[in-house]
Copies of this chain bind each other. A is one copy, B any other.
Amino acid sequence: MTEISRNAAQEGGQPGRIGIGLELDATHLKILEVLRENGRISVAALAERVGISRANAYTRFEALRADGAIKRFTAEIDHVRTGLGITALIFVTVRQQMWRQFRAQLAAMPEVEYCAITTGQHDAMIQVRMADVAAVHAMVTERLANIPAVKATETVFILDEVLKRPYVLPSDRGPGRSPRRPADPAAAPGGEVPLGKMRFVGAAEGRAQLQQDV
Residues of A at the B interface (CB closer than 8 Å) are 3-4, 6-13, 20-22, 24, 29, 32, 35-40, 67-87, 89, 103, 106-107, 110-121, 124-125, 128-142, 153-170, 172-173, 179-184, 187-188, 193-195, 197-201, 210, 214
Closest to A38 in B: B73
A-B contact pairs, 13 of them (CB 8 A): A9-B80, A11-B80, A11-B85, A113-B163, A113-B165, A116-B158, A116-B161, A128-B168, A129-B167, A130-B183, A131-B179, A132-B182, A155-B198
Contacts A69-B77, A73-B38, A153-B199 given: A117-B158 contact, CB under 8 Å? yes
| Contact across chains for A69 and B81 when beta carbons are under 8 A apart | yes
Closest to A13 in B: B78
Chain A interface mostly helix, strand, loop or mixed? Answer: mixed
Return the contact of A180 from the options B3, B37, B83, B210 (Cβ within 8 A).
Answer: B83
Whole-angstrom distance between the Cβ of A137 and the nearest chain B Cβ: 5
Number of copies: 2
Return the contact of A182 from the options B72, B135, B163, B173 (Cβ within 8 A).
Answer: B135
Whole-angstrom distance between the Cβ of A201 and the nearest chain B Cβ: 6
| Contact across chains for B183 and A135 when beta carbons are under 8 A apart | yes
Which residues on B sit within 8 Å (CB–CB) of A74? Answer: 35-39, 73-76, 166-167
| Contact across chains for A73 and B40 when beta carbons are under 8 A apart | yes
| Contact across chains for B75 and A115 when beta carbons are under 8 A apart | no
Cα A74 to Cα B39 with chains together (Å): 4
